[in-house]
Amino acid sequence: MASVAHKGSISMGLVLIPIGMYRTTTDNDIHFNQLEKESKARIRYKKYCSHCNKEVTSSDIIKGYEYEKDKYVIMTDEELELIKTKKDKTIHIIQFAKLSEVDQLYYEKNYYGIPEAGAEKAFELLRQSLLSEKKVAIAKTVIGTRENLIVLYPTKDSMIVKTLFYHDEVIVPPKQIPKQKLDENELQMAKMLIDNMTKPFNAADFNDEYQIRLREAIMTKIQGKEIVTADTDQGNNVIDLMEALQKSLDQSKFGNLTGTA
């Protein structure tokens, strides 16, 4: 099992349910190192003191808040812990809400909520109750130095803890999309295309195809071969919307569109 990212107790009235929060995803992407162009040597980043002009280690570093130019107030880990209330140290349920009322735009990160030993029954009671009511729990907890707004989201087999952005962290769209008058024939054809391409979602059906091609390209270069273009689609430069819809509809019937079976 993955290491625990955070521990706390779900507080529902007088009921406490100790849980661990575990990451739901892993990074499988290929990562490149930065190298010096001529020597091909690895670029290293070092932490150094701007006053002493010397390299420092993690044990030499403390937290400071700049309240004026070049003036800092120091906060120790012990002091940061002292200002946390009992409520801060729990996953304190504030209210319950319908899932549809939480805009997807606010979701930040997902964690598996796993009950600690002895808390399984209370945890299951909360999960099944939320599931049957088709509701989620809105809660708060402090992780590190940040008070997180979170959603306890019940699933068929577990509970997902979703951290949320606060309202003032979400920016408005860069510009308003002007309303368009739609042709009824275009609308009907678009609906037909959607119907033709609709099937149950299964996450296992999808993978990162670019990463696969990237791995193949890396192996090609390791073997001393030349990388050739992977793009074989010449395109047909369709401009007319109805023509594009019709061709898309025709292709979807035979499963030739990307993402279809």
> b vs e for 29-66, b when ≥16 Cβ sit within 10 Å of the residue's Cβ?
eeeeeeeeeeeeeeeeeeeeeeeeeeeeeeeeeeeeee
Answer whether residue 104 is part of any domain. Answer: yes
Same domain for 137 and 249, yes or no, is no
Contact 83, 119 (CB under 8 A): no
Residue 226, domain extent: 184-253
Answer whether residue 33 is part of any domain. Answer: no
Structure-token match 């349920």, residue found: 93
Q: Would you say the pTM of this structure is higher than 0.85?
A: no
Same domain for 86 and 154, yes or no, is yes
Q: How many Å apart are CA 130 and CA 155, to the nearest integer?
A: 9
Answer whether residue 53 is part of any domain. Answer: no
Q: How many Å apart are CA 88 and CA 76, to the nearest integer?
A: 18
Same domain for 94 and 146, yes or no, is yes
**Would you say how long the chain is, in residues?**
261
- Nearest Cα residue to 98 out of 135, 151, 152: 135
Same domain for 21 and 119, yes or no, is yes
Answer whether residue 165 is part of any domain. Answer: yes
Looking at 141, 169, 197, the residue that finishes a domain is: 169
Per-residue pLDDT tens digits for 168-222: 999 988 998 898 888 898 899 899 888 988 889 888 988 888 898 889 888 998 8
Same domain for 151 and 192, yes or no, is no
- 3-class DSSP state of 134: coil
Q: Alpha-carbon dihedral of residues 101, 103, 107, 111, nearest 10 degrees?
A: 30
pLDDT of residue 261: 40
- Nearest Cα residue to 7 out of 118, 107, 128, 142: 142
pLDDT of residue 232: 63
Same domain for 160 and 199, yes or no, is no
Answer whether residue 68 is part of any domain. Answer: no
256 is written with which tokens? 């030739």
Same domain for 194 and 125, yes or no, is no
Answer whether residue 120 is part of any domain. Answer: yes
Same domain for 213 and 144, yes or no, is no
Q: What percent of the chain has pLDDT over 70?
A: 93
Same domain for 227 and 125, yes or no, is no
Answer whether residue 258 is part of any domain. Answer: no
Same domain for 104 and 203, yes or no, is no
The torsion angles phi and psi of 37, rounded to 5 degrees, stand at -55, -45
Residue 61 reports pLDDT greater than 50? yes
Looking at 169, 201, 221, the residue that finishes a domain is: 169
Per-residue pLDDT tens digits for 152-163: 999 999 999 999
Residue 260 reports pLDDT greater than 60? no
Into how many domains does the chain fold?
2
Residue 56 reports pLDDT greater than 80? yes
H-helix or E-strand containing 127?
Answer: helix 120-133
Per-residue pLDDT tens digits for 113-153: 999 999 999 999 999 999 999 999 999 999 888 899 999 99
53 is written with which tokens? 């002009």
Residue 112 reports pLDDT greater than 90? yes
Answer whether residue 259 is part of any domain. Answer: no
